Amino acid sequence: MRFLSFGSALAFCFCLLGNGCSKGITRATAATVFFVKGDVVCGSAEHNQFQPVTLKTKIRSGDTLRTSDGASINLALIPGGFVQVSGNSEIRIEDLRLTKDGNETAGGVLDRRASIRLNHGRIVNLFSDSNQSASEFKVATGQVTLRPDFDCLFSVWTDGARSRVTCGRGEVNAFADAQPSVKIAVGYFSQWPTASNEPIAAIADAGAQMDIKTALDVEPELLDQAAGWQNRRVF
């Protein structure tokens, strides 16, 4: 009996050390490149070390991605969280990770998180994941932080001093310093800094109208590329 108890305790210790029986194992992930056009580079902005991006490039937390004039890139940040970065834009990957229930190779995902910062330029974001409770998708600029609701398509533009967010489908929750949160519904936009906290109909602004048109054009492209990728992914 004493031998069995010791063996059980030893097995339990190995289980904890090996992570095989532990719960909630979190690991960093990498963005997957769906499509790249033109001159796109990625690397460390702090050390000014950048490499050209290809379809095989894995973009990780802490990386900065830059696109030249006329370039673009489509990325999968997490399952259900996709983005197109337009030309003359720069984003920083703040956080990419997933938490799984033990070492299961299929299913068992407890949490997926993606957080990016748009330093300048324009991005189209698509957040559409069937497992709503297990995913968090966040986009920030220097003026505002955005958390889309499930099944949301939205565009973000900034020149560093100003930001505009336009919703093409669903709703986007916007949080700016010292201001009440804003819920931007489909067909509306908000901009910062602003004297008004109320979203404005996109039909009233040429730039916002173009945001919606661009987002609607990009959406089927991202969905088509995502369908093939999700059939191949291992998590």
Nearby residues of 233 by Cβ (< 8 Å), 6 or more positions away? 79
Q: How many CB atoms lie within 10 A of CB 166?
A: 30
The answer on pLDDT for 12 being more than 90 is no
Q: Nearest-CA neighbor of 221 among 120, 151, 153?
A: 153
Residue 222 pLDDT grade (very low, low, confident, very high; cuts 50, 70, 90)? very high
Q: Give percent of the chain with pLDDT exceeding 90.
A: 68
Tens digits of per-residue pLDDT, 78-122? 989 999 999 999 999 999 998 876 655 445 556 789 999 999 999
Does the structure show a pLDDT above 80 at 24? no
Q: Could you tell me the residue ranges of all domains in the chain?
A: 24-232
> Do 87 and 121 form a contact (C-beta atoms < 8 A)?
yes
Whether the per-residue pLDDT at 141 is higher than 80: the answer is yes
pLDDT for position 34: 97
- CATH number assigned to the domain with residue range 24-232, chosen from the 4 options 1.20.120.1200, 2.40.37.10, 3.20.20.10, 2.60.120.1440: 2.60.120.1440
Which pLDDT tens digit goes with each residue over 145-188? 999 998 999 999 999 999 999 999 999 999 998 788 999 999 99
End-to-end C-alpha distance for the chain, whole angstroms: 41
pTM: 0.84
Question: What does the alpha-carbon distance between residue 31 and residue 74 come to, in Å, rounded to a whole number?
Answer: 10
HSE-up (13 A, CA, CB side) for residue 16: 5
